[in-house]
């Protein structure tokens, strides 16, 4: 059974994360299926844009700690979203944690509804938001990024919009996306591709400059004793040993 659902309506392709058993966590299998689906849409002239959404109450819970993806594969996925010659729009009405914010900020436009919550929980596990920094930091208010990187606090869609983590916070996320999708349908394929290349330049430069170092840093953190304690505590639903 596939972990992504796909659909299409008037030139807009939809990819829904559908791995509810682990709250759409980023397993090696889910990352692989997302990459395959995006590759298929990349050269499809009938697709004007892609909407990345989810089933269930969680958009993405971050890395699947029981079957995590290879850091290089996850970085490749985020890079493919950024460099896809078609706009990618995130539609969120659920929880987004840790690596899920990497998926979110790799997208060109992101809209979130009233049930959306966000948190960068890595520091609480003995980790850091390493590889997801490449799309996240160029697009997010630096003072807010410092706060949420360090504290792991949870925040809502209004705050996510205030700090530029998302584009739109709305009570009705689908209604809010109607003019966005209409605008994408009216744009030419060449115009969209060229415009996306301009607005993603800084993010693409971040991948080019930092990917190798951040992949190595992420792998080292995951292999550390402190991270093993943090991840074990999370899976056992207890506080890690360092909590005061």
Q: Which two tokens stand for residue 48?
A: 């004007």
Give tens-digit pLDDT for 94-110: 999 999 999 999 999 99
Mean pLDDT of the chain: 97
Looking at the chain, the whole-number percentage of residues with pLDDT higher than 70 is 100
pLDDT value of residue 66: 85
Domain contains 183: no
Range of the domain at 3: 1-171+189-244
> How many whole angstroms separate alpha carbon 97 and alpha carbon 82?
20
Q: Which alpha helices (H) appear in 50-172, and where do they start and end?
A: 71-83, 99-106, 133-136, 142-151, 157-162
Domain contains 176: no
Give tens-digit pLDDT for 16-42: 999 999 999 999 999 999 999 999 999
pLDDT value of residue 178: 98
Closest alpha carbon to 135 in 79, 54, 89, 182: 79
Strand order in the sheet with 154-156: 58-60, 95-97, 117-119, 154-156
> Given the structure tokens 């900020």, which residue do they identify?
105
Give tens-digit pLDDT for 145-172: 999 999 999 999 999 999 999 999 999 9
Chain centroid offset of residue 150 CA? 19
Domain contains 215: yes
pLDDT value of residue 69: 85
Domain contains 178: no
CATH code, domain carrying 101: 3.90.226.10
Give tens-digit pLDDT for 46-98: 999 999 999 999 999 999 988 888 999 999 999 999 999 999 999 999 999 99
pLDDT value of residue 74: 97
- CB burial class (10 A; 0-12, 13-18, 19+) of residue 87? buried
Domain contains 55: yes
The count of domains in the chain is 1
Domain contains 182: no
């Amino acid at each position: 059974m596939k972990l992504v659902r796909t659909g299409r309506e008037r030139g807009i392709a939809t990819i829904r994360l559908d791995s509810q058993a682990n709250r759409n966590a980023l397993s090696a299998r889910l990352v692989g299926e997302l990459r395959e689906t995006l590759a298929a849409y990349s050269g499809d002239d009938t697709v004007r844009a892609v909407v990345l959404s989810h089933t269930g109450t969680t958009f993405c819970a971050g890395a699947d700690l029981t079957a995590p993806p290879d850091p290089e594969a996850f970085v490749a996925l985020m890079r493919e979203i950024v460099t896809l010659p078609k706009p990618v729009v995130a539609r969120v009405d659920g929880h987004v944690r840790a690596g899920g914010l990497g998926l979110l900020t790799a997208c060109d436009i992101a809209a979130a509804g009233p049930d959306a919550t966000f948190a960068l929980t890595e520091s609480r596990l003995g980790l850091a938001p390493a590889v997801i920094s490449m799309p996240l930091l160029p697009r997010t208010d630096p003072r807010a990024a410092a706060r949420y990187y360090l504290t792991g606090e949870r925040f809502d869609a209004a705050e996510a919009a205030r700090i530029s983590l998302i584009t739109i916070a709305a009570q009705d996320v689908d209604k809010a996306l109607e003019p966005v999708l209409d605008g994408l349908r009216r744009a030419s394929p060449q115009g969209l591709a060229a415009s996306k290349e301009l607005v993603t330049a800084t993010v693409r430069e971040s991948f080019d400059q930092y990917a190798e170092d951040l992949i190595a840093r992420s792998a080292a953190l995951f292999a550390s004793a402190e991270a093993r304690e943090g991840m074990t505590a999370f899976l056992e639903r207890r506080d890690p040993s360092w909590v005061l």
